[in-house]
Amino acid sequence: MSSAMSAARSDDVSAVVILLDVNPYFWGTKTSTGFTFEQFFQHVLVFINCILLLSHLNQVTVIAMGASACTFLYDSAAIDGTASGRSKRDKQPESRSTTITQKLQEFVKKDEAAETNLAPVENQFSNLSGSLSMALCYIQRILRKPTAPPQPRILCVQGFPDAPQQYIAVMNSIFSAQRCSVPIDACIVGSQHSAFLQQASHITGGIYMKPPQPEGLFQYLMMVFATDLYSRQFLQLPRSAGVDFRASCFCHKRTIDMGFVCSVCLSIFCKHHKACSTCGANFNVKKGGQKRKQPSS
């Protein structure tokens, strides 16, 4: 990798961090529609190979988000770095797909062992917030490099619906991504739209898409999400069909479109309370109950 090349302008070199939903609670129930986890995983593996083939400077990192944990499955930069050392011992370096598959199997086993300790209700979601935070930490490391770093972006392939209890953490991640101008793309393979990821792609300038036919996932990934950020301006990409800006309330973690907001700490509640459970502010019932004063006209 010549330094002249990387310094020239790295705007069409991408570092893609892919967040893969491997939640067994999702893939276990999903079989009725015909799109199985094996198919999904095959599509994604081919997609990863494709991105790496588009430019030899491209980097791909894969993070698996399971039912509660998340882990790094694959990092093309790290593998390339150690490959020389390993090939001395091994006769043949392992193929990329085998590495990812092995890591995934390890992770699923670990995740399974961890889940047995928990109530099932609690893990009915995928760990989006954790994997987003991890991805952003990793991207910070890429951006710290002294030579012109590749353009980072996050692609989130999610199947399971949103978990309202992750609301704050996901929002924090989104704002942090916005601040370092990292777009968050979202590809929804589940049946429900994801309000979190709609907001994420709206705020960070990424692409949100829910493929109507998940069986053709590879085509969607290639046509929409494989292109680098510079080339995107020349493409006709799917436009957003509205963004769900609803919030989830702090008291019951329900998604609401109208609610009460504490004026001191901005906590959201779905019902009128006497005191704020977050900051302890006491709401004067006489004043608070009458809503707001009408401006005297």
Partner 1 sequence: MLSVEDDGDVEAEEAGRDMEAYERAYADDRSWEDLQEDESGRLRVVDVAQQQRQHRKRVAAMAGAHIQRGIIRYLYLLVDLSRAAGEMDFRPSRMGVVANCVEAFVREFFDQNPLSHLGIITLHNGVAQCLTDLSGSPETHIRALRANLECAGDASIQNAIDLARGLLCQIPTYAHRETLLIFSALSTCDPGDILEAVRRCKDANIRCSVVGLAAEIYICKLLCEQTGGNYSVATSETHLKDLIMEHAPPPPVLAESAVASLVRMGFPQRGAEDAVALCVCHGEVKMGGGYICPCCKARVCELPTECHICGLMLVSSPHLARSYHHLFPVPHFEELEGTAMANGRESEFKLCYGCQQKLPFPGGEVSGVRLVCPRCRQHFCYDCDLYIHESLHNCPGCESISSTSSLPDLQN
Residues 61-100 touching partner 1, rule: CB under 8 A, are 66, 68-70, 72, 75, 78
Among residues 2 and 282, whose Cβ is nearest to partner 1? 282
- CA–CA dist 294, 297 (Å, integer): 9
According to the binding rule CB under 8 A, does residue 107 interact with partner 1?
no
One-letter amino acid of 257:
D
Q: What are phi and psi for residue 49, nearest 5 degrees?
A: -60, -40
Residues 10 to 69 in contact with partner 1, rule: CB under 8 A: 66, 68-69
According to the binding rule CB under 8 A, does residue 109 interact with partner 1?
no
Concatenate the DSSP letters of all residues of 21-69 into one string: E--HHHHHHGGGGS--HHHHHHHHHHHHHHHHHH-TT-EEEEEEE-SS-
Residues 247 to 266 in contact with partner 1, rule: CB under 8 A: 247, 256-266
Looking at the DSSP assignment, which residues form a beta bridge with residue 115? none
CA distance readout (Å), 133 to 168, 215, 235: 12, 29, 29
Shortest separation between residue 279's beta carbon and partner 1, angstroms: 7
- CA–CA dist 18, 158 (Å, integer): 10
Pick from 14, 23, 59, 127 the residue near partner 1 by CB under 8 A. 127
- CA–CA dist 150, 264 (Å, integer): 42
Looking at the DSSP assignment, which residues form a beta bridge with residue 187? 157, 209
Pick from 10, 151, 227, 267 the residue near partner 1 by CB under 8 A. 267
**Count of residues in contact with partner 1, rule CB under 8 A:** 83
Pick from 1, 53, 113, 121 the residue near partner 1 by CB under 8 A. 113
Among residues 13 and 276, whose Cβ is nearest to partner 1? 276
Shortest separation between residue 115's beta carbon and partner 1, angstroms: 7
Binding region for partner 1 (CB under 8 A) out of 51-59, 84-92, 185-193, 268-276:
268-276
Among residues 25 and 283, whose Cβ is nearest to partner 1? 283
The contact mask relative to partner 1 for 183-222 (x = CB under 8 A, - = no) is ----------------x--xx-------------------
Dihedral, 150, 153, 157, 160 alpha carbons, nearest 10: 140
Shortest separation between residue 184's beta carbon and partner 1, angstroms: 13
Among residues 16 and 276, whose Cβ is nearest to partner 1? 276
Asked if residue 59 lies in contact with residue 14, where contact means CB atoms within 8 angstroms, the answer is: yes
